Amino acid sequence: LSELEALMERMKRLQEDKEDEEASQEEMATRFEKEKKESLLVISGGIYAFPVQFSFDDEIVSTDVSRYIEDPGFGYKDFARRGEDHLPTFRAQDYTWENHGFSLVNRLYSDIGHLLDEKFRMVYNLTYNTMATHEDVDTTTLRRALFNYVHCMYGIRYDDYDYGEVNQLLERSLKVYIKTVTCYPERTTKRMYDSYWRQFKHSEKVHVNLLLMEARMQAELLYALRAITRHLT
């Protein structure tokens, strides 16, 4: 099977499995912890920190971004150290954008919550119902996996989501691309962009980038707004 056909087959199988039997809460928690720990081993630029038969064999283009920032030392850091047994988890059910963050940010800055919410929803729901040359395809499962994987990298867990879907739908090269774009965008190369979903249209791959950026922004807002809420109370 081609990369595209294999992905569509996995999406179909996941839907059938979900209809037949749902994973228990304990199983979903275990799958999240596994995915969260593995995300710490993903190194931007094309390799994993553990041995796998995979590499982009691509040099990272050194981009000088210092002219755009005031603090050259500012940058992304993993939310936990590698090798730690108990990694911190942000349970989304305890502090969600819809139920908590939205109202607080609106209170702090009038109407900004509505604008942000509209932006998040528009990007998340954007679809032509296509996958490359295939039409009338429901891509909800794939879009949710992309969005939730970014939040997983930031330690955010949704109790009602089975993270086994992430491992089924997002191949290793795509996970490396996701972490690079989300955490170290200046290291992204065209070759990395070309190396995943080769049969997809550019518009579909650009939508992936939009999803990643909005997921990251929402994750950052959740941490910041939760801290503000705790301070106010």
DSSP 141-173: HHHHHHHHHHHHHTTEE-TT--THHHHHHS-HH
- Can you list the pairs that 198-203 forms with residues at least 24 positions away whose Cβ atoms lie under 8 Å? 198/3, 199/2, 199/3, 199/4, 199/132, 199/133, 200/4, 200/131, 200/132, 201/130, 201/132, 203/128
Count of C-beta atoms within a 10 Å radius of residue 224: 13
126 near 204, Cβ under 8 Å? no
Q: Are strands 47-48 and 42-43 parallel, antiparallel or unpaired?
A: antiparallel
185-208 confidence digits (pLDDT tens): 888 889 989 989 999 999 999 999
45-103 confidence digits (pLDDT tens): 544 443 333 333 444 445 566 677 777 677 787 766 666 667 789 999 999 999 999 99
H or E element, residue 24: none
Domain that holds residue 207: 3-232
What would the two tokens of residue 226 be? 């939760």
105 near 113, Cβ under 8 Å? yes
Percent of the chain predicted with pLDDT > 70: 86
Three-state DSSP state, 131: strand
For residues 151 and 157, give the distance between their C-alpha atoms in angstroms, rounded to a whole number: 7
Tell me what pLDDT residue 83 has: 63
94-143 confidence digits (pLDDT tens): 999 999 999 999 999 989 999 999 999 999 999 999 999 899 999 999 99
Tell me what pLDDT residue 85 has: 67
What global pTM score does this model have? 0.86
DSSP 76-117: ---SS-TT-SS---EEGGGS-IIIIIHHHHHHHSTTHHHHHH
Is pLDDT of 24 > 90? Answer: no
The one-letter amino acid at 22? E
